[in-house]
Amino acid sequence: MELYMVFLYVLAAAVAVWAAGALQLVAGPRHAGRVAAVTAGVLASAFVACLAYGVYGLVGHGDWSTVTHGQALHGLLGEGSLALRRTGWTALDRAANALLNTNIGWSLFALSAIQFQSIGFWARRAEARRRRRRVH
């Protein structure tokens, strides 16, 4: 596991969040779609909290305070983790370093946007499926 694993973690999070919208297809429980909406709301609220914390740090200490991907992954995986080791490919290492130094709030913003998009996508699919069932 090397530094490119960072991209796999981000991709896995995006796929999991987008796929959560598929709960719209569950026919039994009427409240299944609310889980996806609540997830989107939590992600959006987490983004706002990160943004507010960053502004608080900027006003109070003169420095943007929010956590970066690198800080979060080092905290979760531990310092010197194999997942954060360099690959030896200059372009890939630069891209990974750019991502690791990015504020995690922007990723939360992207995940909430993906979640809202998935709710619409899967809701349209579920509605089309319900219409087909009514016709037959």
Q: The dihedral of CA 114, 116, 120, 122: what is its sign? A: positive
Q: Is residue 120 part of a domain?
A: yes
Give the separation between CA 105 and CA 120, rounded to whole angstroms. 23
Q: Is residue 83 part of a domain?
A: no
How many Cβ atoms sit within 10 Å of the Cβ of residue 64? 14
Give the separation between CA 2 and CA 83, rounded to whole angstroms. 5
Determine the structural domain holding residue 72 and report its residue range: 1-77+89-135
Residue that wins the pLDDT comparison between 65 and 128: 128
Q: In the chain, what is the straight-line distance between the N-terminal and C-terminal CA atoms, in Å?
A: 51
| Structure confidence by residue, pLDDT tens digits, 82-134 | 777 788 888 888 888 888 888 888 889 999 999 999 988 988 888 888 888 88
pLDDT at 29: 61
What mean pLDDT is reported for the chain? 83
Q: Is residue 36 part of a domain?
A: yes
What is the pTM assigned to this prediction? 0.76
